[in-house]
Amino acid sequence: MKKLYVPLALAMLVAQPGSAFSVEQRILAGVFEPEMIKVADDSLYIVENAHILVYSLKDFGLIRKIGGPGEGPGEFKPADFWYNSVTVLPEYVFVDGNDKIVYFSKDGRLLREAKKPLGASRMVPVGMNFAAVKLDHIEADVQYQCLHLYDAKGKLLKELCRQESPVQSMTRRTEMIPDVLNFAVWGDKIFVEKSREGFVIDVYDSGGSPQYRIEKKFEKIAVTKDHENEAIEKFKTDPFVKRIGFEEFKRFSQFVWPDALPAIRDFTVADGKIYVRTSGTRDGNESWMILDLKGSTLNSVYLPPADSAPLMAALYGVNYYAVHDDKFYFIKDNEKTDEWELFIEEIK
């Protein structure tokens, strides 16, 4: 697999084809706190707070900035522990903000915007409707993540599924290896992973009707002391935990540990295929299964580890990787240089 290395904060190093050591250095300013990446057409989209930065995949030069901080048209109001998300469709760029959804043209012009349903996050267009996750639904003392379907005006049509939230605010229980409700939209279909039930993905049409279920056998991986130590160290770097201090977090929370790692860590749908990130590893790389849209296995590959988002960010669907044209794009924070780095790996 051929690798492309690009530091994103101050300089860009591009490995030239045919030579692992020939490097070209360019300046690429403006990326310091990336929240999400998407790749579409010939462009790389990076969500950076209230901006969406668009870079060319040909030379990684900055093409344009979309959005910006504020409360005016095409601007996004900041909110504590809120993460904007971007969906790139053939006709437009769709951004889910804290209190509104915004449509931009591919060249960055504001097309229209609308208020969004209260409490909905990760809104994604599907057909004439929207799929979105509501994080704070509580029944009795149990908090749920619910996948909802809304119509074009933001009216709730139905709940597609729900699962217990990794963070239980009423009982102060926190999953230390969080299993988050993940979904993806491809065409007029909604794909939802049900890793609490095993290696399971349910598929709905744009109207919310169940279409079929994908289910695979998988090997259970027991949670070891090493897994627990790794999870604890990751929680210590979580922005929310750092704000209150880890010792206070321990006092405030009851740690919940699963017996086994999730069958599906997360997944994405791209290029007409389902890419499933499992909990398996080999030689420091992570196991991915590639399925067709009906669930038949196309390939199993091991890819470099992609950083997982902090817990609060993960609840809002933040991820640091994307798949496009059989390439795996992922970003990492280089703690030594305090720069974010982009890597591109061919999937074979």
Same domain, 312 and 326: no
Cα 131 to Cα 63, 122, 192, 213, 316, distances in angstroms: 29, 8, 11, 18, 13
Same domain, 277 and 325: no
**Contacts of 265 by beta carbon, 8 Å cutoff, 6+ apart:** 195, 277, 278, 279, 308
Centre a 10 Å sphere on the Cβ of residue 233 and count the other Cβ atoms it contains. 10
Report d(CA 177, CA 260) in Å as an integer.
10
**Would you give the distance in Å from CA 117 to the centre of its chain?**
21
Write out pLDDT tens, residues 79-127: 877 889 999 999 999 999 999 999 999 999 999 999 999 889 999 999 9
Helix (H) or strand (E) holding 29: none
Same domain, 176 and 269: yes
| 87 in any annotated domain | no
Give me the pLDDT at residue 335, please: 74
Q: Give the type of residue at 174.
A: T
Same domain, 75 and 176: no
Which residue shows structure tokens 């988002």? 309
Inter-residue contact 173 to 166 (CB < 8 Å): no
Identify the segments of the chain with pLDDT beneath 50. Answer: 1-3, 9-28
Give me the pLDDT at residue 6, please: 58
Sheet bearing 297-303, strands edge to edge: 266-270, 273-282, 285-292, 297-303
Give me the pLDDT at residue 2, please: 46
Task: Give, as one character, the DSSP assignment of residue 16.
Answer: P
C-alpha closest to that of 215 among 160, 276, 258, 268 = 276
| 112 in any annotated domain | no
| 93 in any annotated domain | no
| 97 in any annotated domain | no
Give me the pLDDT at residue 341, please: 81
Q: Which residues pair with 67 in a beta bridge?
A: 51
Same domain, 64 and 177: no
Give me the pLDDT at residue 254, please: 94
Same domain, 299 and 326: no
Report d(CA 102, CA 106) in Å as an integer.
13
Structural domain span for residue 226 = 171-317
Same domain, 222 and 305: yes
Same domain, 240 and 260: yes
Backbone torsion region of residue 218, taken as left when φ is above 0, otherwise alpha when ψ lies between -120 and 50, otherwise beta: beta
| 122 in any annotated domain | no
Same domain, 267 and 338: no
Cα 179 to Cα 192, 309, 314, distances in angstroms: 13, 12, 9
**Contacts of 18 by beta carbon, 8 Å cutoff, 6+ apart:** none
| 269 in any annotated domain | yes
Inter-residue contact 336 to 9 (CB < 8 Å): no
Same domain, 335 and 286: no
| 124 in any annotated domain | no
Domain total in the chain: 2
Same domain, 309 and 345: no
| 252 in any annotated domain | yes
Same domain, 179 and 312: yes
